[in-house]
Amino acid sequence: MTHQVHAFEPPERFVAGTVGEPGDRTFYLQARGGGRVISVALEKVQVSLLAEKLEELLLEASKRFGVTLPEEPLLAVHDNEPLDTPVDEEFRVGTLGLAFDVDTSTVVIEAIEAGEPEPDLIGESLGDEDDDDDDDDDEPDDDLDRLRVRLTPDATRAFIDRARRVVAAGRPPCPLCGQPLDPAGHLCPRHNGYHR
């Protein structure tokens, strides 16, 4: 089976967003460009970790390569609009890969479809080329669809800001146990299971 690589280099828009009510939200990465919109589903923790790792990647690029980074996202790239509709899930993300392209000073994000990759492929860098290895270990991963976007540092900072706001917009945490509070009530383990 052939795979599809949905490449947006650069996208007109690349955002994290949700569909549904807090407590029952589905998280998406959505890229738009060239007259097409691609939406891929992922978990809340993946969105949170993506924002965290992108922040670390920008700081490392600044230290190692002297890339000038914006402190705050520019208002021109600040995006508070909802996801483009209809939101049709292209695939569910299993692996996220990040890289910094020194030649173009851009961040490359690759979302790879959930599948059954070989254990040694997990965590592999985007920039790694095939070593003169005649093994067919890469075969399972080659059949997985991908979403690849290339962002400027400004656009990356705006993505991080929005992703953090999207994650934080869910149910507030219980001040005692940290679990999400439901509107109908919360059985807090710190209260021995009694409603408060």
Q: Give me the average pLDDT of each 10-residue run along the chain (196 residues).
A: 86 94 91 95 96 95 85 62 93 95 94 70 42 46 87 92 91 80 76 60
pLDDT of residue 127: 43
Q: What pLDDT is attached to residue 173? A: 80
The tokens of 12 are what? 């007109």
* pLDDT confidence of residue 113: 95
- Classify 63 as helix, strand or coil: helix
Map out the domains of the chain with their CATH numbers: 5-115+141-191 (3.30.2450)
Q: What are the phi and psi torsion angles at 128 (to 5°)?
A: -70, 130
Which two tokens mark 162? Answer: 């929005």
Report if pTM > 0.85: no
Provide the 10 A C-beta neighbour count for residue 76: 8
Q: Which two tokens stand for residue 118?
A: 């070989």
Tracing tokens 């020194």 back to the chain, one arrives at 102
> How far apart are alpha carbons 7 and 11 in whole angstroms?
8
